[in-house]
Structures are given as C-alpha cells and as structure tokens.
Structure 1
Amino acid sequence: MLAGKPSVAIIGGGHNALTAAAYLARAGVEVTVLERLPHVGGAAVSTSGFAGLDARLSRYSYLVSLLPEQIIRDLGLDVRLARRRYSSYTPVPHGHPAGADRGLLIDAGDEAATRASFAAIGAAGDADGFGRFYDRTTRLAAALFPTLTEPLPTRDAARAAAGDASAWSEIVDAPIADAIERAVADDLVRGVIATDALIGTFAALDDPGLEQNRCLLYHVIGGGTGDWDVPIGGMGRVSGGLEAAARAAGATILTGVTVTSVTPDGEVTWEERFGGSLVGSAGARSGTELTAQFDLVLSAVAPHVLAGLLGTEADGAAGDAATSAAHAAWPRPEGAQVKVNMLLRRLPRLRDRSVSPEAAFGGTFHINETYAQLGAAHAAASAGRVPEPLPCEIYCHSLTDPTILGDELRASGAHTLTVFGLHVPDRLLNDDNNERMRGELERAVLVSLDSVLAEPIEPLLLQGTGPDGTAAPAIETKTTLDIEAALAMPGGNIFHGPLSWPWLESEPTGPAEAWGVETPHERILMAGSGARRGGAVSGIGGHNAAHAALELLAASLP
C-alpha cells in the first residue's frame, strides 16, 4: 500500500485499462479511467447483435488463451474458462488427393482418432511430426508464459529457461516456414500449423522480418499449453468482472468522455458528454472541457492513437524530440482480417460423414487454409485483390457455452458462428469503398464456407429484425475500417500494432522498460495491447503497467 494519494489517469476503458485500474486502486492510488464509449470493455464485450433474437455475442474478441490465472486470483474475478475438447477440423479443399469428403480432426481427447484422421487424408506420416512440433512449442510455452507477468527476462535468460528441446530456434531464429516444412509434408497439415502465424497479421510465412513468427509465438504460449478457451457467459463476463473489481477498489470510471490531448508532464484534457451531447468549447455545444494534472498517465489505447493525443507540437525542445520519437515509432498499423458473426438455426451438414458437425465446429474450423492456399491468398492481397477462395476460421461459442443463447434458441438447436477471414489487409479499403467492400467480403466468406460444406449456409441463417422493422438475416460483417470506427483500433489492427518478442536484448534501465511498458515520456506508460507483451484478451498489458507505475510512484514519494 502506497503512502499518500498519488493520482493516475488511464486513457481508454478496455480490459487492460480495467486490469490496471483494479491493481492500482487496490494499492491506494487515485485512479481515473477515461473511456470515449458509453460502456467499458473495448473489444472484450458481449452484445445482443441481432434484434429480436436472444443471443449474447462476443462480437469482436471471442476466445481466451493469454489471461493468466494469477490475474483472476489477484483480483477475485468471477471468470470461468471452458476448455474445448477438439483442437481443430480442416476439410480438404477441392482437388485434394484424399477426395472431397474427408477432413483432418485434431481430437485432444483421443490420440488414436487423431491418427486415424491423419491417415484418412493420406497424411499418416505427418501425425508424429505434427505432434512433435507442438510438443516443442509446449515446452517453450511452459518456460515463457510465467514470465509474462514478471519483469522482462533478457533474451539469453529466456532461451536458457526454454532449453534446447523447445521450439525456440524454430520460432525465434528463422522464418516459421522453415520449421513447418521440416515438421510435416502434407499441404493441408502444413496449413493447420501456419494459420497460428497469420491470425491478425499480414505477412508471408517466409518473411525475414519474422512478424509471422511473433504472431505464432503468442498463439502457442497461452496458459503454458497454447490452449484457447471459451469464456463462460461471453467475453463480457471478462470485462464485466474487471470493471467490478476496479470499482470495488475505488477507481473512478468515466464513460462517454473523449480525451483530446496529453502532455509529457501528465496533463490530460478531455470532453464530456451530458445527455448525449458532446461537451466542449467549440460551436454551440453546452458543458465543459476538463483538464487535470496526474502523477502518471497510463495509455490503454493503441500507440498510434497516443501519438495523436501527444500532438505534433510540443512546448520545449526535449518534448519535441520525445514526441517526434513517438510518432516515428508508432505509425498507423494495418489489420488484415474481416470478422463475420452469424446465428444459425442449426449447424450445417458436412461432406465428411465420418465427423459430426458438433465435433467439427467444437474446435477451430479451418476453411481453405492449406499451406498453398495461404501463400496464394497473401500474394493476391498484396496485389490489391480479395483472395479467392478466402482463407477463414470458424469458432462456435455456443457449442462450448450454451448459456449465451436464450432458453428458446438453445432448445431449438440454434448456434452462433464467428468467422475470421485472413489476408484482408486494411490497404484494400477506404472510406469511399468500405460499404461495397463489406458486402464483397461477406459474400467471399459465405462462398468460402459453402465450398467445404454439404449445403449452403445462407438458408440456415435465423431471421432477426432489421432497422426498418422487417425480417433481416442474422449476419453482421466487420471490416478493418468498421473495427477502427467502433473501437479506435487504427487500421483495424487487433493487436494495436506489431507484436514484440517477450524479452529484452539487454538489462533494462528502469521500471517502465523492465515491465515492457515504456514510452518516450517518463510519466506516460503503455498499458494496453500495444505494450511489449500485449495483444489478445490477457490483461497482461494492464497488469504490467500497474506494477511499473507502483514502482515509479513509490520511488517518487518522500
């Protein structure tokens, strides 16, 4: 517990901001959270997305892997995560040697069944190589995951902890394409591994910059096992629990406020909304623009957004240099996905009659994501075209957690489907074509799904109520621009920017660098997904920023 009452502002009200607020308030800090939306939670929310249908969708983020049990325990969160028995199902695409009615089912509960599935698609020889690859990533996960809520290790310390039997060299030292091609031979099996390197990342698998490797690393280290779990009650239970913990500890949470500027010395200016109208100094708007001084500022918004709040001008020469450094370090990032949510009256039938729809959709359902298809899709998007077919992944939350559906829908056999389309970079969209592209991408997703199913998916869509009161199919599509508009994620980038290795090259120079939350300004810390170990729903960015802040505040107190 800190002596005195230091003050901290947190810009943004996503799950990382709420995590930081809870830790800081519990330590005796006066915390003010500033969120522009009328609610907190950011991307980790549940929404009744289709009028007239009783379903709570995890609209933007949908699975949890990186949320440490430590944070759940520390903050007393009422958050339950359910493990999916099936890891993935991948139907063979047209032209595959195994024929059109087969697929690869990775069953975490039945090794013999998984081996039989490898054999059924003509890839029996890859079962061992596939298993050994993920054994090595699990060793790496077991070594690295516990460090995510501790001060950063150095690269040498992290490598020593991982050991030679882990996947360290495969993931860290060379493009992941090399490791995949050594591990397995079948094109479809290679694609199953490769997708972990591409979710939310627009990169070739052999890119020497290794952005795809960092993406794969964060996908395989969660929980020390790499499992991706379903939050019971929807993603809103995660952010709701964090909000409750922050409020109970005494944090002040302001919603409907827009931060307009931040100074390097901790001054924050924001506009408030009263009765739905924006409060500010311009025009005839009523109300006030507020400015307050804080001991520290934690930024839970994307680094590029923070750069804009810092402005292009600074009062002093030192401020100019630091702010210029922030702008140079935090350019507008690029997302690379399309998100489609659907509500179906039942799960679609498969061409593969040996696998039940409940098993196939019980894990991650890969569509047109063979190794060759992923490479072709990246090439097409790089040339300015929507990939055809579009690589996609499906998640069925309601199979693992039926509670997100109302009683009537649940009894009827209805299910939710979330589709994540890969290799749709933000560069393909702009303000003029976004509406057209939203329709084109939705159609590309449906065509891709239909290509591997035994029946078209559109007739299975439930009918909700549209804005004009007439029936409307229960499907919604979010482009990168839609995500940016809704959540202030520049370029629709779901990680707020490029991912970083979770270690340092040398010893840190202070608490902010040690925890991976430093910015060019000493009194401003990065607390969101843009922190060094941010990305995905984890709370790690907020946890680490809070711990760095407490060390800095303790050092500054008399």
Structure 2
Amino acid sequence: MSVVQGTAVRNYDAVVIGGGHNGLVCAGYLARAGLKVAVLERRKMVGGAAVTEEIAPGFRASIFSYLMSLLHPRIIRDFELKKHGLEVLPCSDMVSPVDDGDEYITFSDNMAKTQASFGKFSKADAAIYPEFDAYLLEATKIVRQILWETPIDPARRDWKTFKDGAKLLWKYRKVGRKMYRIVDMLTMSAYDFLKEWFEDDRVMAVLAYYASIGTFAGPKTPGSAYVIMHHVMGEHEGAGGWGFIKGGMGSITQALASSVTALGVDIVTEAEVKEIRSSNGKATEVLCADGSVYRAKAIASNASAKHLYLDLVGEANLPAEVVREIKGYRTMGAAFKMNIACERPPQYKILERVRRDGVLGSFSYPTYMHIAPDIDYLERAFDDAKYGWYSKEPFITPVVPTIVDNTLAPPGKHVVNLFGGHAPYTLKGGDWTTEKDNFKKNVLDAVERFAPGFRNDIIEAQLLVAPDIERIVNLPQGHIFHGELSTDQLFFQRPVSGYADYRTPLKSLYICGSSMHPGGGVSGIPGHNAAREILRDLGKTIA
C-alpha cells in the first residue's frame, strides 16, 4: 500500500473510493477482468467497518463488525481468501439468560437442541419450531438468489428493462405461493410474524432479537420481520451459522487486500476524496484532499450514497428528484459497540448450569449470547430511542472471541465485544459528549443484571456510539447498514428510485457499497454486483 502526495494526475481504468470490504471486492473483480484499478482509502488502513485495532496494550478487538455471518462462499473462493490468511473459527450456540438470569434459552443449528430448549417454556413452541424453520428456510432460499440480482426499474419503459424483467420473472417462475412468505416478512412486524407461530415471549425474543440488530426499529415495527431473514442468510462454510475470524474481523479485509494487490490493484491509503469531477454529465476524475487527481473510465464509490451524492458530487450536479430522495433516505444510526479488555469474561449466573447441562458442547464458555429476556424488553429499548433518548435497558450481544482465538489478548486475559441498541445518533435535549458515561453505565448495568460483578474485571472499555462510528468510518449517521432495511429502502428503491442498479445520474459513476441492494453486512455482494454492471457497461463480463 502506498500514499500518494502532491498534485500528480494518475490514470486508471477504474477508481474505487473507499477500501472497505465491498470496495476491495469490487476492485478485485474489475482487476480479474483485466482493468487497471486503484482503491483510495481515507484512513491509514483499509477495512472500513471490518477492522481489528488495539484497544489496550496487548489487547486487539474487532472494533465495529464483530462476527462473520454473511460473507459469501463465492467471495471467499474467488479471491482465495483462505490462501491469503482467512481462518474461520467456531462459535458456540447462542445462549440467552431469561427470568433475571435464573433460567436460560439456547438457539442452535441442531434442531433437537433448539426444540429441547424451547420446550422448557412451551411444549407447543417446541413442536411447531421444525415447521417454522422449514418455512423460514424456503423464504431465505429465494431471497439468497435475489441478493445477486441487479434491481430493475419498474418505472422505466424501454426494451432492455422489459427484457431484463422478463428474464427475472422466468427465472423465479417456480416460486409460486412461496412469494407470499416474502411479502409477509417485508410488511409484517417481527412480533406479528412470530406470534402466528409461537406463544411464549421468551421464545419469540430469541428470533425477534435479530429484527433489532443495526436498525432503528423494534420488534413491533412494521417490516421488521424482514430483518430477521437478512441476518440468517449467511452461508459461510456452506451453512447459515455465525463464526469468528482468527485475528478479528480485520483479517477479512487484510486477506482481501492481499488478494486484490496480487491481482494488480493499487491500494492508496490516506487518500481522502474531496470531489468527483464531471464533464457533460459524465464522471471523469477524483480529487483528493492532498491535491492528487485520479482519472478513470469508471469510478465506483464504496462510500455511503448520502456522502457520495451530497458531498462528493454536490446537489448542483444532480436532478432535483434525486436530491430530494437521498435527503429523505433514512440513515438514523442507533447501534452501539463497546470493546472491552478484561481479566475474565462475564460470569453469568447461569454459567455453571449451562456447562453442567452440556449445551456448550466442546466449548468451555458461551462465546455468543443475547441479553434480551423477552419481547417487551426489546420493544422498551426501542421506545426510548423512538422518543429521542438512549435505552435505559439496552439489548446486547456479548461475544468473547478470545475463548477460541488466543491472538487477541495476553495469556489468561480476554476481549469482550458488546454490540446492541439503542443509542440514537441525535439525542433530544442532550448531547453524546456529556451522555456517554451515563449510557455506558446502562450497558454495564444490563450485563451485570445477569453477570454480577463484571465491572470489577474490566481493564479498559471503549464505547462507540453513532457519532463515533460516523466520524471514524464515515457511515451515515453511524448507520451500520448505510440505511434502514425497510420495504421502501430495498431492492429497486435502494437508495433512490431509478438508480438502484449500481449506477448514478452521472455516467461512469457507480455505487458499490451497502447503500445498494442487498444492503449492509460483511457479505461482499454489493461489491460483486456493482463490478458486474461496470464491466457490462465496458463491454466485459465478470469472472
């Protein structure tokens, strides 16, 4: 990687703005097709939200993204990421304390284990779960295929759109009544959807939890059922499970960087893009803060659509309708992340029971947990945010990668990642500069309700809320998905109508990040799909 200074003009076939995982994936596919490609990254390191950094002497953590679940096997295979250092480590089954920590519920890929756990609270829920799982799997299979499609514009009336639409309809002609399942999940709240299947609030909370991850929504928000499906679509190692990455999530982007560099991609760090210049409606070059200029036949932005349109292109260079829509594109971040260096992980009240009951298998400790004992807990957490404040009792995902990865902490010590919500970007009648300590107390109180005394084991704690996430990695308002995953911001309406096909109003300018279909998460699919469309416009095919 290099740093280019001065006012030199560099010529490339393609320039990618932003060295997050989607930017690297896009650059890699373009290079595989024979293009000369440069990636411009504002920070000193590539990775975007998938980075590993030191949080205390000897302690390293996945600062933002914390678990691998969505990175597609095709991406891993095409870029030979395992050859470049990627190593996936196992994660224990999810364990969630309930009833003030005196009882627990588990969620596993093993049907019998999940049924046995659900059966402690409702025999009916245990009995219906296999049918629900099959229902969700059928819906997920359809959506997994749609992830790779370029959204068509239903308002466009030309032969190409008609032909592409006909191909899409023919491809999915056998979906039939299964489409009703997709419509249900796109429109129903997680609560209403799950209530059709289950009776116990603790059982429902296990699944409804996923509807709140990274979104400004609660389980009773219309459309939140879809987010459950979004989070269970992972196919790493051919399955839908979650896992850790040895060395933290930064190892994914370091492996990608190594792979694409071997393909000839130039990665330029400390290259902050200030402006995209255009001529006669066509993007032609990129101006960096240090005065350097990069000219290219194609420019792809991994930055958020809001930042691209409003800051780098500018309102004056865009149609008024696009400006209006992108300003209305909802990006209110409400997720938080606390990275903790500690003497030992939380000592949950249920820990000995969980070990004794044998639900952890070969694990000595539950590496992946949920703190959200029932549906009302999740909804109350959102209620606080809905009215402009942070959650008094936040929902939390505590993960402990150091149980399986000894590269992140000194011997005998641990790293704990706490991810959850809600902590909205803007506080009504307050400011994060004065409220972070109060919110940190709420987070640790929520953990200590189920693991008393955890504070005493903390060496260092880094709390990141939405303004921090925006400042460090430029996610719009700290939204980890670059925008809400709601029906009006999906497929052909993501991020604005008429430009959901990875193209923009400026010719030769594309978007390859999470602002586009299929949305956020460390999947690499937006980067792949954008590269395919760029190559199509250049008369080439993706390989």
Q: Evaluate the alpha carbon distance shift between residue 158 and residue 103 of structure 1 in structure 2; reply closer, same or farther with a 3 A threshold.
A: farther
Query: Which amino acid letter does the alignment assign opposite residue 337 of structure 1?
Result: A
8 Å contact from structure 1 (residues 93, 368) kept in 2: no
Q: Which runs of 5+ in 1 are unaligned?
A: 95-99, 273-278, 280-288, 462-472
8 Å contact from structure 1 (residues 332, 490) kept in 2: no
1:8-34 alpha-carbon deviations (Å, 9 max, x no partner): 111111111111111111211121211
8 Å contact from structure 1 (residues 44, 60) kept in 2: yes
Distance across 2 between alignment mates of 1:320 and 1:108: 48
* 1:117 pairs with 2:117: yes
Aligned to 1:22: 28
Distance across 1 between alignment mates of 2:170 and 2:426: 39
Aligned to 2:475: 489
Aligned to 1:185: 199
Aligned to 1:402: 405
Aligned to 2:106: 105
- 1:529-540 matches, within 5 Å, as 529-540=514-525
Distance across 1 between alignment mates of 2:151 and 2:90: 29
**Number of residue pairs matched by the alignment:** 496
SS of the residue corresponding to residue 202 of structure 1 reads coil
Distance across 2 between alignment mates of 1:341 and 1:295: 41
Query: Which amino acid letter does the alignment assign opposite residue 104 of structure 1?
Result: I
Query: Which amino acid letter does the alignment assign opposite residue 479 of structure 1?
Result: V
Aligned to 1:387: 391
Aligned to 1:465: none
1:221-261 alpha-carbon deviations (Å, 9 max, x no partner): 22175322222232111101111112111112111111111
1:336-389 alpha-carbon deviations (Å, 9 max, x no partner): 111111122223332224213966953531113410111122222222333222
Aligned to 1:84: 91
Aligned to 1:218: 230
8 Å contact from structure 1 (residues 363, 395) kept in 2: yes
8 Å contact from structure 1 (residues 195, 369) kept in 2: no
Q: Evaluate the alpha carbon distance shift between residue 542 and residue 114 of structure 1 in structure 2; reply closer, same or farther with a 3 A threshold.
A: closer
Distance across 2 between alignment mates of 1:333 and 1:113: 38
1:68-123 alpha-carbon deviations (Å, 9 max, x no partner): 1111111121223234341x2111143xxxxx5111122434x5544443344x33
Query: Which amino acid letter does the alignment assign opposite residue 285 of structure 2?
Result: V
Q: Which runs of 5+ in 2 are unaligned?
A: 1-10, 153-164
Deviates more, 1:136-145 or 1:164-173: 164-173
Identity, % of aligned pairs?
28
8 Å contact from structure 1 (residues 66, 538) kept in 2: yes
Q: Evaluate the alpha carbon distance shift between residue 332 and residue 371 of structure 1 in structure 2; reply closer, same or farther with a 3 A threshold.
A: closer
Q: Select which of 299, 307, 310 maps to 1:308.
A: 310
- 1:40-439 matches, within 5 Å, as 40-51=46-57, 53=58, 55-78=59-82, 79-86=86-93, 88-94=94-100, 100-109=101-110, 111-120=111-120, 122-152=121-151, 164=177, 167-208=181-222, 210=223, 212-223=224-235, 225-264=239-278, 265-271=282-288, 279=290, 289-314=291-316, 319-321=317-319, 325-326=322-323, 328-330=325-327, 331=329, 333-352=331-350, 353-356=352-355, 362-399=366-403, 401-406=404-409, 409-410=410-411, 412=412, 414-428=413-427, 433-439=431-437
SS of the residue corresponding to residue 348 of structure 1 reads coil
Q: Evaluate the alpha carbon distance shift between residue 127 and residue 163 of structure 1 in structure 2; reply closer, same or farther with a 3 A threshold.
A: farther
1:129 shift after superposition: 3.0
Deviates more, 1:360-369 or 1:531-540: 360-369
Aligned to 1:520: 505
8 Å contact from structure 1 (residues 105, 114) kept in 2: yes
Query: Which amino acid letter does the alignment assign opposite residue 102 of structure 1?
Result: E
SS of the residue corresponding to residue 294 of structure 1 reads strand
1:497 shift after superposition: 1.2
8 Å contact from structure 1 (residues 304, 332) kept in 2: no
SS of the residue corresponding to residue 415 of structure 2 reads strand
Q: Evaluate the alpha carbon distance shift between residue 76 and residue 133 of structure 1 in structure 2; reply closer, same or farther with a 3 A threshold.
A: same
Q: Evaluate the alpha carbon distance shift between residue 92 and residue 385 of structure 1 in structure 2; reply closer, same or farther with a 3 A threshold.
A: same
1:308-340 alpha-carbon deviations (Å, 9 max, x no partner): 3344453xxxx4426x51453254611111111
Q: Evaluate the alpha carbon distance shift between residue 267 and residue 437 of structure 1 in structure 2; reply closer, same or farther with a 3 A threshold.
A: farther
Using the size of structure 1 for normalisation, the TM-score is: 0.81
8 Å contact from structure 2 (residues 88, 245) kept in 1: yes
8 Å contact from structure 1 (residues 63, 230) kept in 2: yes
Aligned to 2:4: none
Q: Which has the higher contact order (CA 8 A, sep 6+)?
A: 2
Query: Which amino acid letter does the alignment assign opposite residue 447 of structure 1?
Result: D
Aligned to 1:549: 534
Distance across 2 between alignment mates of 1:338 and 1:37: 21
Distance across 2 between alignment mates of 1:307 and 1:370: 41
| Runs of 4+ with deviation above 4 angstroms | 150-167, 357-361, 500-505
- 1:491-510 matches, within 5 Å, as 491-499=477-485
1:437 shift after superposition: 2.0
Query: Which amino acid letter does the alignment assign opposite residue 106 of structure 1?
Result: F
